[in-house]
Amino acid sequence: MDALPVEENTGLSYASTNVVKGENGISTPVAHACGHDSHVTALMATSMVLHSAREKWSGTLICIFQPSEEHLNGAQAMLDDGLYDKIPKPDLVLAQHVMPMRAGTVSIREGPFLTAADTFDVRVFGRGGHGSSPHTTIDPIVIGASIVMRLQTIVSREVVPGELAVVSCGSINSGHTSNVIPDYLDLKLNVRTFNPEVREKVCSAIHRIIEAECEAGGAIEKPKITRTYSCPATVNDGETVQVLRSTFKSFFKDRLVDAHDASASEDFSLLAKAAGSPYAMWMFGGIDEKVWDDAVAKGTVNELPSNHSPFFAPVIEPTLETGVDALALGALSFLKRK
């Protein structure tokens, strides 16, 4: 299961206390702040439920516990490791994710469902020196600050209004003390888009802006820009969603709710594309029903803890029951009945 570099502050008796060394070698608290423990639990329970009822259906059920979803490279890693040499290629791939929705609810729609994602590591090169003599240096922090500010204009000034695009700087690191101007600065950028043309435009603009700001700031060499991971948008198959929506509507009734645009991303669709098969994904809610209803009444839904928050803690029930129901119903909608 993927853990995030987040220190859990839910106050739960089973809250994560794990600390691991990150990529930078620094000890970092980690937690399942995106619901992956819920996902694994629901899939395990679903496999047990369907196995116990195997005399009522026929077909091949494959349960894949994909790792490294947070880095969006787990699906490709499994494929590179010969996944379909070890198991049959699926005729259909289904997936689900817990979200900050009312617990007990499910949402799905056909077509574009989740965004494509691209992440960049950037290093800006300056010339370090004494903090009291900045005129003898080329300050990468000043250049980096200009880059971060200028990147904000991509969405507001270069993307057509109505098209979804997100450009975020999630990390900026440079230097270690107050009286030393460092030699370099590191940025970590995250991009989310639906439209492939917008995706290309945004990624191209990132390169252009970073290179231009480095030149304007007198950087001693060109910046190093590395795309660290990339995955396509999740586009749900229309016919598959029609079947699932009919099944879910019959079972969940008014707990099947409208799906809204989400700028999150998933790489599981690569598993389907590699098999040449259709796929669909849905969301299920994890926010306590009373907490959700109170937030709706007060107009504070956006203030509720969401995925990746140190306070995100899906309630155990009816969250898990709903996740199991949805997975089992989804599978049985396509497996043959005996």
Q: Which of 215, 231, 247 is the last residue of a domain?
A: 231
| Residue type for position 58 | S
110 and 120 housed in the same domain = no
Quickly state the pLDDT bin for 1 (edges 50, 70, 90). low
Question: Within a domain: residue 22?
Answer: no
143 and 184 housed in the same domain = yes
> What does the block give as tokens for 338?
């005996």
**Count: domains in the chain:** 2
> What does the block give as tokens for 186?
């590191």
Q: Return the pLDDT at 24.
A: 75
Question: Within a domain: residue 1?
Answer: no
pTM above 0.95, yes or no: no
DSSP for 154-179, please give it: HHHHHSPTTS-EEEEEEEEE--SSTT
Q: Which of 212, 231, 250 is the last residue of a domain?
A: 231
For 132, the domain range is 116-231
Question: Within a domain: residue 14?
Answer: no
Active site residues: 2, 69
Q: Looking at residue 108, which CATH number applies to its domain?
A: 3.40.630.10
Q: Return the pLDDT at 289.
A: 98
Question: Within a domain: residue 162?
Answer: yes
Q: Return the pLDDT at 16.
A: 95
Residue 242 pLDDT > 80: yes
For residues 45 and 55, give the distance between their C-alpha atoms in angstroms, rounded to a whole number: 18
For residues 6 and 244, give the distance between their C-alpha atoms in angstroms, rounded to a whole number: 34
Question: Within a domain: residue 310?
Answer: yes
The H-or-E segment that residue 97 falls in is strand 93-102
Quickly state the pLDDT bin for 104 (edges 50, 70, 90). very high
- For 6-54, write each residue's pLDDT tens digit: 999 999 999 999 999 987 788 999 998 999 999 999 999 999 999 999 9
Question: Within a domain: residue 71?
Answer: yes
- For 202-220, write each residue's pLDDT tens digit: 999 999 999 999 999 999 9
Q: Looking at residue 165, which CATH number applies to its domain?
A: 3.30.70.360
Quickly state the pLDDT bin for 266 (edges 50, 70, 90). very high
- For 118-170, write each residue's pLDDT tens digit: 999 999 999 999 999 999 999 999 999 999 999 999 999 999 999 999 999 99
177 and 203 housed in the same domain = yes
User: What mean pLDDT, rounded, does the chain reach?
Assistant: 96
Question: Within a domain: residue 183?
Answer: yes
